[in-house]
A and B are shown apart, each in its own frame.
Chain A
Amino acid sequence: DAGVIQSPRHEVTEMGQEVTLRCKPISGHDYLFWYRQTMMRGLELLIYFNNNVPIDDSGMPEDRFSAKMPNASFSTLKIQPSEPRDSAVYFCASRGGPGLLSYNEQFFGPGTRLTVL
């Protein structure tokens, strides 16, 4: 398996523009997580899905952020409009269900480094 795939790896945009980050989880994994990492705040959970359904979005900063998971192999995190304070590295991670031996382990993608000017 190729692991968790994220695109783009780097994104530079101007304030006010819409940004869409993409994630393909590991095949067969039931859970998908979106995180944001900054020097100031560390690694923060934004939202997670179980079987494509959003379970907890309490970490989403504000209404400018939205996430979807239309099917088991694809998820998006959208920021509209983007602001300079959204600059961070955004990670997607997936995890298997209780039937898997390593179900407790989260597998992270390489991240998307977002810069909002």
Chain B
Amino acid sequence: TQLLEQSPQFLSIQEGENLTVYCNSSSVFSSLQWYRQEPGEGPVLLVTVVTGGEVKKLKRLTFQFGDARKDSSLHITAAQPGDTGLYLCAGEGGATNKLIFGTGTLLAVQP
């Protein structure tokens, strides 16, 4: 069974601080996605990484896919209250069209 563990589970920080969220697995994924979910809504895709070692930037968010395609990280620079939400990584592996979602990281950015 493929599992994706995220850490930390919860994170409460002040506006302007930096943070990193980790997504780890013992399985290899063909691609990995990061979603953000706000209260009362469904997850929304932020980015997809495909190549081992790949780094993608989305404004203040930096995403990295591990060289072995088993892990990923999300780094937020100068966090803002609008970054508050549940961050989910999701791996796609093999010939299936299924996504395996991580355990989630709940981020709260205090003004």
A positions within 8 Å CB-CB of B: 4, 31, 35, 42-45, 48, 50, 55-56, 91, 93, 95, 104-111
Contact = CB atoms under 8 A, between A and B. Distances in A.
B111 interface: no
Interface of A is mostly: strand
8 contacts: A4-B42, A43-B43, A45-B99, A95-B97, A105-B48, A106-B45, A110-B42, A111-B42
B103 A42 contact: yes
B86 to A, nearest CB: 9
A104 B42 contact: no
Interface of B: 31, 33, 40-45, 48, 88, 92, 96-104
Contact of B104 (A31, A43, A48, A106): A43
A91 B97 contact: no
A69 B92 CA distance: 24
A104 B99 CA distance: 10
Contacts, number: 48
Contacts of B100: 45
A48 B98 contact: yes
Nearest to A95: B97
Contacts of B48: 104-105
Nearest to A9: B40
B101 A55 contact: no
A107 B101 CA distance: 14
A41 B10 CA distance: 15
A91 B44 CA distance: 12
A79 B84 CA distance: 33
A48 B92 CA distance: 14
B42 A93 contact: yes
A74 B96 CA distance: 23
